[in-house]
Amino acid sequence: MTSIGSVTKQIAALEISNNKKPTAAAGSSFRPGHSKQSSQTNVAKLLTKFSAPNAFPNGSKPTQGSSLRHPTTATNATQASSSKASASKTHAQPPMDIGTYDGGLEADDEKRGEKVYGEAAEDLALDSSVSGKNPTREWTLHDFEMGRPLGKGKFGRVYMVRTKSEPKYILALKTLYKSEIVQSKVEKQIRREIEIQQNLRHPNVLRLYGYFHDEKRIFLMLEFAGKGELYKQLSKYGSFSERRSSRYIYQMADALSYLHAKHVIHRDIKPENLLLGINGELKIGDFGWSVHAPGNRRMTLCGTLDYLPPEMVEGKAHNERVDYWALGVLTYEFLVGAPPFEDRSSVNNTYRRIAKVDLRWPEDRELTSEVKDLISRLLQRDPQARIPLADVLRHPWIVRHNRPRESES
């Protein structure tokens, strides 16, 4: 059976454009166990945490891996023989099992969602094939074989699917019902999330490859996160080792540096919004509260209470350094199993602890002085006093457990 790893490697070789073939993607979004208090009613996880691809136009297929942009035909016997041998080897492998489809899309379509009209219909007529920048081929729901369900979101379901056209890539497909988006008054948020994520290219940021729509729904094609939701791992083990945590925080700091360089503030960093790729690498997978804010200071209260910094709790303007604070909270939760300021008995107590930066170290486990130093330097009341991400990547606790990437070397 074809491995997810081999599929993922094929996907990674592709760039999605109007002359490329579909890539694969998937992952699931479900948070078991204890739930966190939200600072805003119905904070929607708008983009699910999986991935997708794009195919070659008109069903054309390159004969060589190096000819993705300009398919060519083999011109000599050696090339033809090589292509034939490769094709034979590929066909000898059984197709990957994508699971059994449960008919959920048809069932949903009968009882939920309505057509939208007017300005809302125009706002939600989202199609990456007519995108001004890097348009994809045209996609419809009929281009996919439906597989097992991967999860449910507020506005629809997520399924593991396979493209019908060769080379039959695996991906995850998320549905969003337009009328429910309109009822929740988040049309602009949905568009913003899609616009932000479709332009991001980083190994630790989940890729959005394409999207299309029909009369009632929007479909998102997202990168496959082969090992699923990080929060499930955290719930399973209770906490992570310093070595494992350091590797995740290194990847997070690198991804956040990339986002901030593009003037994207995430504003909702937490375990539920992180996925794991096939090699166990971390993927930031939800941009529902992200904002593209070049030079702007924001006043909106959003995100999850346990991860809100003092400036947001107090309703003050904030900038990208809210993500520095969240990185400190995430580091603490990875190691301890709970956020540092959480008070389950009272939301107000949580607010007060955040405002005072009431940071307490657990008595039932030992943390090294290095990680305590990093957490303390991230969880500073004054945003300007928080350790910069470049210094996080050079911090002794990070360096001890990670090798620098080639770009940093």
The pLDDT tens digits for 206-242 are 999 899 999 999 999 988 888 888 999 999 999 999 9
pLDDT at 295: 43
The residue type found at 198 is: Q
d(CA 325, CA 314): 15
140 with 210, same domain: the answer is yes
Q: 164 a known binding residue?
A: no
- Distance separating alpha carbons of residues 267 and 320, to the nearest angstrom: 8
Is 408 contained in some domain? Answer: no
**38, 156 in Cβ contact below 8 A?**
no
Question: What SS3 class is residue 274?
Answer: strand
Number of domains in the chain: 2
Residue 9: its H or E element: helix 4-12
Asked if residue 79 is part of any domain, the answer here is no
How confident is residue 61, by pLDDT bands cut at 50, 70 and 90? Answer: very low
The pLDDT value recorded for residue 78 is 42
4-25 average pLDDT score = 43
pLDDT band of 116, cuts 50, 70, 90: very high
pLDDT for 403: 78
Least confident of 139-143, 194-198, 323-327: 194-198
194 shares a domain with 57: yes
Q: How far is CA 362 from the centre of its chain?
A: 31
> Please, are residues 326 and 269 in contact by the beta-carbon 8 Å criterion?
yes
pLDDT surpassing 70 at residue 36 = no
My answer on whether 234 and 218 are in the same domain is no
Q: Does the annotation place 18 within a ligand binding site?
A: no
CA distance 218 to 126: 7
CATH number for the domain that contains residue 68: 3.30.200.20
Q: Which residue has the higher pLDDT, 152 or 94?
A: 152
pLDDT for 279 beyond 70: yes
Q: Kindly tell me if the per-residue pLDDT of 309 is higher than 60.
A: yes
Annotated binding residue at 255? Answer: no
> Is 143 a known active-site residue?
no
User: Which parts of 198-321 fold into alpha helices (H)?
Assistant: 230-237, 242-261, 310-313
State the pLDDT at residue 132: 75
Q: Is 155 annotated as a binding residue?
A: no
Residues 59 and 127 in one domain: yes
Mean residue pLDDT across the chain: 77
Which whole number is the average pLDDT over 53-69? 34
Q: Are residues 193 and 323 in the same domain?
A: no
Known binding residue 225? Answer is: yes
Same domain flag for 237 and 349: yes
Residue 290 has pLDDT above 80, yes or no: no
Q: In angstroms, rounded to a whole number, what is the distance separating the alpha carbons of residues 23 and 406?
A: 25
| pLDDT score recorded for residue 259 | 94
3-state secondary structure of 279: coil
Q: Residue 184 gets which letter from DSSP?
A: T
pLDDT at 288: 56
| Greatest alpha-carbon span in the chain | 75
Please report which confidence band the pLDDT of residue 173 belongs to, taking 50, 70 and 90 as the band edges.
very high
**239 shares a domain with 328:** yes
- 84 belongs to an annotated ligand binding site: no
| 21 and 161, same domain (yes or no) | yes
User: 42-51, 206-215, 346-355: which range is least confident on average?
Assistant: 42-51
Q: Is the pLDDT of residue 85 over 80?
A: no
> Is 224 annotated as belonging to a binding site?
yes
More confident residue, 25 or 379: 379
**Of 254, 268, 306, 323, which is the active-site residue?**
268
Which amino acid, 93? Q
CB contact at 8 A, 246 and 402: yes
Counting Cβ atoms within 10 Å, is residue 339 exposed (0-12), middle (13-18) or buried (19+)?
buried
Residues 6+ apart with CB under 8 A from 33: 235
**Is 282 within the bounds of a domain?**
no
Token pair recorded at residue 120:
């809302």
Q: How confident is residue 364, by pLDDT bands cut at 50, 70 and 90?
A: confident
Cα–Cα distance, 406 to 383 (Å, whole number): 30
Q: Does residue 107 lie in a domain region? A: yes
**More reliable by pLDDT, 15 or 350:** 350
Residue 83, in any domain of the structure: no
Last residue of a domain, one of 222, 245, 266: 222
* pLDDT above 80 for 385: yes
Is residue 62 domain-shared with residue 185, that is, in the same domain? yes
Q: What is the mean pLDDT of residues 111-123?
A: 90
- Count Cβ atoms below 10 Å from residue 4 Cβ, excluding itself: 17
Query: At 353, is the secondary structure helix, strand, or coil?
Result: helix
pLDDT tops 80 at residue 17 = no
Is the pLDDT at 294 greater than 60? The verdict is: no
Q: Give tens-digit pLDDT for 188-199.
A: 888 888 888 888
Q: Is residue 333 part of an annotated ligand binding site? A: no
Residue 203 has pLDDT above 90, yes or no: yes
- Output the pTM of the full model: 0.73
Residues 147 and 263 in one domain: no
Q: How far apart are the first and last CA of the chain?
A: 38
pLDDT score of 27: 40
Q: Which domain holds residue 253?
A: 230-276+293-401
Question: Does 188 lie in the same domain as 40?
Answer: yes
Helices 369-378 and 242-261: angle between axes, nearest 10 degrees: 30
Looking at the domain assignment, is residue 286 inside a domain?
no
> Quick one: pLDDT at residue 134?
81
For residue 12, name the pLDDT band (cuts at 50, 70, 90).
very low
pLDDT at 37 over 50: no
Q: How confident is the model at residue 286 (pLDDT cuts 50, 70, 90)?
A: confident
Are 206 and 247 found together in one domain?
no
Q: Which of 190, 176, 71, 187 is nearest to 118 (CA)?
A: 187
Tell me the percentage of the chain whose pLDDT exceeds 90.
42
Q: What is d(CA 263, CA 259) in angstroms, rounded to the nearest whole number?
A: 6
Q: Which of left, alpha, beta for 180 (phi over 0: left; psi -120 to 50: alpha)?
A: alpha
What is the pLDDT confidence band of residue 125, given thresholds at 50, 70 and 90? very high
